[in-house]
Amino acid sequence: MVNFGYPESLVKEFDHWVVLVRPVQCTLGALVLINKSEVQAFSMIGETAFRELDRITQEIEQSLSSFRPFNKINYLMLMMVDKEVHFHVLPRYDSDQEFSGTTYTDVGWPSAPDLSAGMTLDISALSTLVDELKSNWN
């Protein structure tokens, strides 16, 4: 979680998961959904963590939609560099998005997202985005 800016990037904490703002915003509102158990295989997260995902994904999608309507949403579970179970949650847009004086472009649209693209948020921009996403959380 620390690699993704925790605790400053924390949007919402659940029993088995945390939702963080992704430090590199390859699309506006990009998040990381991280399992708190630190296991390195999805099959090992446990039954209650699996059940909790249903509610979390609904909340993520409702909250991101309230923040900024997206055209699509991608959940990527890669676990190559950061090996613990986590998803990159990427709202996808077919047009540029403006937020807090900055333009965000989904350079991969309509194909696969480009995780290396986008802006690395400084502490002020991170805080502003975290606060905005928290205010849109239902």
Cis ω before 23 (30° cut-off from 0): no
Alpha-carbon Rg for the chain, nearest whole angstrom, is 14
- Digit-coded pLDDT (tens) for 97-109: 999 999 999 999 9
Provide the H-helix boundaries in the chain. 47-67, 123-135
Distance CA 84, CA 113 (A): 21
Q: Give the predicted TM-score (pTM) of the model.
A: 0.96
Cβ atoms within 10 Å, residue 75 = 13
> For the chain, which domains are there?
2-135 (3.30.428.10)
Closest CA to 21 of 38, 13, 33: 33
- Digit-coded pLDDT (tens) for 13-30: 999 999 999 999 999 999
The per-residue pLDDT for 138 is: 73
Residue 80 pLDDT more than 90? Answer: no
